[in-house]
Amino acid sequence: MKLFDLSGRRALVTGSSMGIGLALARGLAEAGAAVVLNARNAQRLEEAAGTLRAEGHRVDILAFDATDHAAVRAAVDGFEAETGPIDILVNNAGMQHRAPLHEFPAEAFERLLQTNIASVFHVGQACARHMIGRGEGRIINIASVQTALARPGIAPYTATKGAVANLTKGMATDWAPLGLNCNAIAPGYFDTPLNAALVADPEFGAWLGKRTPQGRWGRIEELVGAAVFLSSPASSFVNGHTLFVDGGITASL
């Protein structure tokens, strides 16, 4: 369907050497987009790019630290000048740290702030400057079920993901008049490297099956439809929205 066709578009996905980021990059490529993979580890990026290229997709790589404002700006500006426009940005880079709040290390709290929320500002602003000049662009920020809910041991992570949702609203408020669509996707519990500790915990798995109306972990490919929708003309009047993809966990007590 033309409404969901991303042919002729280019998407930058941060934190896309594995996990959700790589799955979203593959999904956008399957919808027709050229994709730009990003992470700090150049070797992992090359491996991921090789996998997608072997599947027939158009792939570039752009290695930079999403928490470094100057490095982000230089990388994005350089890519736009040398290769071409970035039409779609998916801010996926993120990290987790689990500890009781009264024992939470201050340095871990700072890393969470930088990785989960400051990076959204850095990369979002760098890409938006170019998108604004063209009068159009799509920004998708990856939030979390913890945007709306909290669990023991991850209060700082919960704070960062709440901030992602509100920064998304702020982006839409400032940039929608300039032609941009800025939204967020809030995944529920997915079997990813970030959740490895929870996946390995049988007690948590049993709790999750009972707590989630659909009764299971999410599969990362189940996030692709939301990303394609928010990247495509099908969502042309959707702005400042956080789309929960969580098996119903935020809808049910």
CA distances in angstroms from 75 to 48, 69, 182, 220, listed in the order given:
19, 10, 21, 28
142, 168 contact by CB (below 8 A): no
- Which of 64, 79, 157, 175 does the annotation list as catalytic? 157
Q: Name the amino acid, one letter, at 100.
A: P
Q: Provide the token pair at 186.
A: 């809030």
- Sheet with 10-13, strands from edge to edge, namely 59-61, 34-37, 10-13, 88-91, 137-142, 180-187, 242-245
1: Cα separation from own chain's centroid? 24
Is residue 157 flagged as an active site residue? yes
- Cβ neighbors of 64 (< 8 A, separation 6 or more) are 38, 40, 71, 72, 74, 75
Q: Provide the token pair at 139.
A: 């920004």
What residues are annotated to the active site?
157
